[in-house]
Structure 1
Amino acid sequence: MTDHTVSTRTTPLTDAPDTPQPTPPEAGTGTSTGAYRAAWRRSIEQREEFWLDAARLVDWVDPPSAALTEHSPTDYRWFADGTLNTSYNALDRHVLAGRGDHTALIYDSAMTGTRARISYRDLLDRVARFAGVLRAAGVGRGDRVVVYLPMIPEAVVAMLACARIGAVHSVVFGGFAASELAVRIDDARPTVLVTASGGLEPGKAVEYLPLVRKALDLSAGSVHTVIVQNRHAIPGSAADYASDTGDDAAVRWLDWAEASAAATPADPVTVASDDPLYILYTSGTTGNPKGIIRDNGGHAVALTWSMRNIYDIGPDDVFWAASDVGWVVGHSYIVYAPLLAGATTVIYEGKPIGTPDAGAFWRVVQDYRVNVLFTAPTAIRAIRRVDPELAELARYDVSSLTALFLAGERLDPETFHWANDGLHCPVVDHWWQTETGWAICANPRGIEELPTKPGSTAVPVPGYDIAILDSKGARITKPGKDGNIAIRLPLPPGSLLGIWGGDDRFASAYLTAFPGFYATGDSGHIDADGYLYVMGRTDDVINVAGHRLSTGSLEEVLTRHPAIAECAVLGVHDPLKGQRAAGFVTLKAGWVVDHDLLRNELVNLVREHIGPVAAFRDVTILERLPKTRSGKILRKTIRQIVDGEPYKVPPTIEDPTTLDALVRAVRPIPD
């Protein structure tokens, strides 16, 4: 690590005089060693010292003299006078330290049977060469590059190559509709687009190049070069479009392999800490996309710190985030964090079930001796639904697994217990957002492993000062009382720098509802031990005849029924009560039950545990719930269908046929 000297100048907070001072969470009272509470308190009360210490985990060209530069309560930068290169920190420094032969990346494709291990030295060579390709295409510091790739190693290479030359990448989930890709192109204004001939889904191939061609036709014309990775199993190559005479005839189409072979490897370019690293559009955006901007310095510091202190992962440990590079989890914990920490990361092209069975995840854990698996609760529920007795797990040795981390949506207690009892390793439900880029709340296993509370996302991560606020912005101090979850400003390093296209959008979207706080848009409560319970989005709190009910609480009750695999509870229109709660459930594999009987049992469960005030009587039984590709239930779209409102099929949907089935279920078509 580069030696450097840093200042310990403290930048004072600019809170209003009546702003309550932070109270450290009393996590695990009676069992805690106090290490977590000491770390959290220091991160809030001695912010400069805490984050400058964390900054020593990163190699800087020019070390920062201060952690926080604060121009106003809502305008601040982390490590503002520092310079570095993120790609260098992820690759070069490990090779220079003599670890070039260690495995950086494991690629496992359940779709093609391909398996590969790529060393740090080999990955560095690929990244440097592709950075040379981008540089030869005219890409420089601050230029944007759209990455539209499936889950293949080239996705990692392309992202790190952009970082290497100071370019800003914007990853769009491979297979997104052409119109949605065009919207993102017009917002980011990239000069180069990197893609592949296509992606693979169970039972089908998705050709990307026709989608790219159409998106270029629909967009305003900023892209002048398209670079194509040829996947031989899928039709289409750069040569097919090289002589195109359409509206985008000025666009060059290059073959990835040919261009890389001819390229001169590029050295890392020094960038400012607050230079943008990437733009990531929040899922489901249409028409006016919201591009989250991440910086270089704060991002590198936060993610490097998180690997050891949250996930307890160090060099040569194997970390597998079973996500996609199109989502924030893929950015943070497939690509950047594991490599910044010198660990081994896994990129998996497949599904938790059906590729080929419900043992797919356990097979990967066994084959690569995975230490930590990070995925979404929906993936675990999918496995539970197909294999409720975990028969497939018995075929594999998963003893290397030290923890299962889950995030992306609420983890119901029933699924928690099922996974915890079956895997015999800690199951950690933690909470974060695309905007924060890393965990807001978690069980910080690298600092102190705290007691687990099913239904809770554990405690605030150091750096995050969380408050529960009422509708007027006053703090709710009573343990267990629901309100709006907010984070006192400034947000810690690694959080969004702003929204692409204007800071006013950042302020209006997140900072105006509760002055001095970032509004998360989630609701929940904190218990007497400082544990946070995220009960759902604030618009998932429904009002039934004047009674405010959390849909998360209702869902928790429904999953207690032994037949239920997954569920969603929504507030739908009711002419008398204003809203009423409606439940949508799926059954575990092998369960045969009379649907009318099941509905009655679920209604009675809610009456028993919530009370008649819920007025719960509507239950729809589905084969599958409509979800995004990242596993989030499409609650807004379901509600629109049930209420008879116009709706648009979201571009992030995993399977559009699930919406067709929902329409038939709630509005039967006459024979």
Structure 2
Amino acid sequence: MPSTQSRYHETYARWKSDPEGFWREAAREIDWFRPADTVFDREAGAYGRWFVGAQCNTCHNAVDRHLAGRGDQAAIIYDSPVTNSKRSITYAELQDEVAVLAAVLRDMGVEKGDRVIVYMPMIPEAVFAMLACARIGAIHSVVFGGFAAKELATRIDDAKPKIVLSASCGIEGAKVVAYKPLLDEAIRLAASKPEACLIWQRPQLACSRAEGRDLDWAQEISKARAAGRKAECVSMAATDPLYVLYTSGTTGKPKGVVRDNGGHMVALKWTMKNFFGVEPGEVFWAASDVGWVVGHSYIVYAPLLHGCTAILYEGKPVGTPDAGAYWRVISDHGVVTLFTAPTAFRAIKKEDSRAELLKGYDMSSFRALFLAGERADPDTVKWAEDILKVPVIDHWWQTETGWPVVGNPLGLGGLPVKHGSPTVPLPGYTVEVLDESGRPVPPGTMGAIVIRLPLPPGALPTLWEAEDRFREAYLSLYPGYYNTSDAGYIDEDGYVWVMGRTDDIINVAGHRLSTGGMEEVLASHPAVAECAVIGMRDMLKGEVPCGFVVLKSGVNRPQAEIEAELVALVREKIGPVAAFRLAITVPRLPKTRSGKILRGTMKKIADGDNWSMPATIDDPMILDEIGEALKSRGVAG
């Protein structure tokens, strides 16, 4: 991807010189019922608001406006290896499904501005639910299906939904997870009671319905369709909320990230061509879940706004049925671009390090892999490049930003790759690195990664009913900036290096060291599939690093031998200053359901501090395994 062909620098300079003009031009890609009076109002909200005075509807732009030219094109392809089923839904069929469901919501009393919680698995009805809310101006709040009852209850109490849309069950690999008992318990625990629930009965596990509260989804749709009932798109202010998505924090009250209608559409539509390099009509796959921001932005909204075909995949990277699952989906559906988490590729690499399963599939349509969600270690990126022979694009963003902050803009002509860096800030973002006093640091110096205000269209304008908390959490520490809570540095070429959360920078005898840098070294060892480094409390040095490693399948060497090599490798690559003396082999690492490694909880276990079970954890038993592994090495645990 030679830089001589890239339009990035010219495009970024154009945005920098005239931000409002840049986004005014981008907004021409959206259908507006009424254009904005002001592209950006600096006096509104915490840092300003985008497209003030404009009227629009997100569902109209994602669905209805495509009917004229794309009615017969697949909008969504549902692929579910866990139920052995596939379904293709055209734009015309999607419009019908969404308009009828929106009429059912109206009949249930849902009005513009009401909140609706969507607690569902990865099935088409989850997408219908989100779009139906957008159609009538209700604010959806998707909660990851199967989330614990207590956590769902806290979200019900914060959002105060009029109704909840749910399903009887979800399927996690080979396990059927009953949703209804979790939903019932959450409603029992919540102080704010929804008026009704609409339940989609899945054949894998039906559920009973509470008298007077729960309605059967299929029956209500059937009645509305028989009566010819459909809801039209309502006109919304660009600054009206489209959705609230709660961040998956492990402690305290969840933060409800607000996304508006207008700026969200403009930013997402811009990224599809300019960042991902995808054209309308092509097949785009984000292998995530609708419960996470990636699912909102790049399973549902961005591909449909752009007129693409989106893949809705109910499965795993490995185990449904094997480590060739992703190749099968790409081959079956002609996927041009895949966006997934680095942890998915680490899992594939662990199970099939030689990519033997890739050989059986037609990958001729495939032209790019995008990775985000956790730091993409260079070893995994190189492995993906070697086996796929396409650009592998690391990029970085957050639930709060809604779309990529830093990335290699394939659609503008990619820049040279530096393994370990997600590359450069995209138009809309001025990224800087500050020290603890809020002063800019020289190139190559570690510090806090911040974004100069104002944030661009599509980023959160506030938290749900918590403006003061928004200012305190994101804007107060470094006045004039949004605090990402990530740490790293910017090099002489302007490339951003995100080395971990601010909490993951450890202080070893006065030296600030990145756990991400140590993880990079550990991951480069040929026996290591994945790893995590934490800083453990130490009486002498303040903190010392501890590395947890998962070995690749088929590695038969003694663990102690590999661990000794890892300690030596960190000493060689980073130096004695790292004080890296402890590498512990474990069968698996504790992760959230979106694939983020729970380093903070691991640190608390290692330090012997009190800790609580993270609400988002994929398998709670793994934390016991980490504790036992630490105890076996004489660490608190």
Normalising by the smaller structure, the TM-score range is over 0.9
- 1:172 corresponds, among 121, 124, 143, to 143
1:654 to 2:618 alignment: yes
CA–CA distance in 1 between the matches of 2:261 and 2:45? 21
The one-letter code matched in structure 2 to 1:426 is: P
Q: Which residue of 2 aligns with 1:110?
A: 81
Q: Which residue of 1 aligns with 2:221?
A: 260
- 2:500 corresponds, among 536, 543, 546, to 536
More displaced stretch, 655-664 vs 379-388: 655-664
Decide whether the 8 Å contact of 1:280 with 1:291 is kept in 2.
yes
Decide whether the 8 Å contact of 2:142 with 2:290 is kept in 1.
yes
- 1:224 corresponds, among 165, 179, 195, to 195
Q: Which residue of 2 aligns with 1:157?
A: 128
Please give the secondary structure, in 2, of the residue aligned with 1:392: helix
The one-letter code matched in structure 2 to 1:373 is: L
CA–CA distance in 2 between the matches of 1:230 and 1:287? 33
Decide whether the 8 Å contact of 1:334 with 1:345 is kept in 2.
yes
CA–CA distance in 1 between the matches of 2:33 and 2:44? 27
Please give the secondary structure, in 2, of the residue aligned with 1:640: helix
CA–CA distance in 1 between the matches of 2:587 and 2:510? 33
Decide whether the 8 Å contact of 2:3 with 2:413 is kept in 1.
no
The equivalences for 1:200-239 within 5 A come to: 200-236=171-207
The one-letter code matched in structure 2 to 1:232 is: P
Q: Deviations over 1:494-519 (max 9, x none)?
A: 00021012211111001111111101
1:569 to 2:533 alignment: yes
The one-letter code matched in structure 2 to 1:647 is: W
1:375 to 2:340 alignment: yes
The one-letter code matched in structure 2 to 1:265 is: K
1:437 to 2:402 alignment: yes
CA–CA distance in 1 between the matches of 2:373 and 2:324? 22
Q: Which residue of 1 aligns with 2:107?
A: 136
- 1:545 corresponds, among 509, 526, 543, to 509
Q: Which residue of 2 aligns with 1:473?
A: 438
Q: Deviations over 1:99-144 (max 9, x none)?
A: 1001000000010111010000000100001001111111111100
CA–CA distance in 2 between the matches of 1:67 and 1:392? 50
CA–CA distance in 2 between the matches of 1:255 and 1:305? 39
Q: Which residue of 1 aligns with 2:154?
A: 183
1:33 positional shift: 4.3
Please give the secondary structure, in 1, of the residue aligned with 2:13: helix
1:395 to 2:329 alignment: no
Q: Alignment identity in percent? A: 55
Decide whether the 8 Å contact of 1:73 with 1:490 is kept in 2.
no
- 2:165 corresponds, among 168, 171, 194, to 194
Q: Which residue of 2 aligns with 1:325?
A: 290
CA–CA distance in 1 between the matches of 2:193 and 2:45? 36
1:285 positional shift: 4.5
- 1:290 corresponds, among 247, 250, 255, to 255
1:470 positional shift: 1.2
Decide whether the 8 Å contact of 2:248 with 2:254 is kept in 1.
no
Decide whether the 8 Å contact of 2:209 with 2:215 is kept in 1.
no
More displaced stretch, 331-340 vs 282-291: 282-291
- 1:645 corresponds, among 601, 609, 623, to 609
- 1:66 corresponds, among 35, 38, 45, to 38
CA–CA distance in 1 between the matches of 2:252 and 2:188? 17
1:222 positional shift: 3.0
The equivalences for 1:459-538 within 5 A come to: 459-476=424-441, 478-538=442-502
Decide whether the 8 Å contact of 1:74 with 1:490 is kept in 2.
no
- 2:543 corresponds, among 551, 565, 579, to 579
Decide whether the 8 Å contact of 1:74 with 1:489 is kept in 2.
no
TM-score (ref. length: structure 1) = 0.92
CA–CA distance in 1 between the matches of 2:251 and 2:279? 39
Decide whether the 8 Å contact of 1:73 with 1:516 is kept in 2.
no
1:242 positional shift: 3.5
Decide whether the 8 Å contact of 2:119 with 2:166 is kept in 1.
yes
The one-letter code matched in structure 1 to 2:607 is: D
1:359 to 2:319 alignment: no
The one-letter code matched in structure 2 to 1:504 is: D
Q: Which residue of 2 aligns with 1:559?
A: 523
1:339 to 2:307 alignment: no
**Unpaired segments ≥5 residues, structure 2:** none
1:284 positional shift: 3.0
Decide whether the 8 Å contact of 2:6 with 2:414 is kept in 1.
no
Decide whether the 8 Å contact of 2:500 with 2:514 is kept in 1.
yes
CA RMSD of aligned residues (A): 1.4
CA–CA distance in 2 between the matches of 1:523 and 1:548? 11
1:276 to 2:241 alignment: yes
The one-letter code matched in structure 1 to 2:52 is: A
User: Across the two proteins, how many residue pairs are aligned to each other?
Assistant: 630
1:146 to 2:114 alignment: no
1:479 positional shift: 2.2
Decide whether the 8 Å contact of 1:468 with 1:475 is kept in 2.
yes
CA–CA distance in 2 between the matches of 1:203 and 1:174? 16
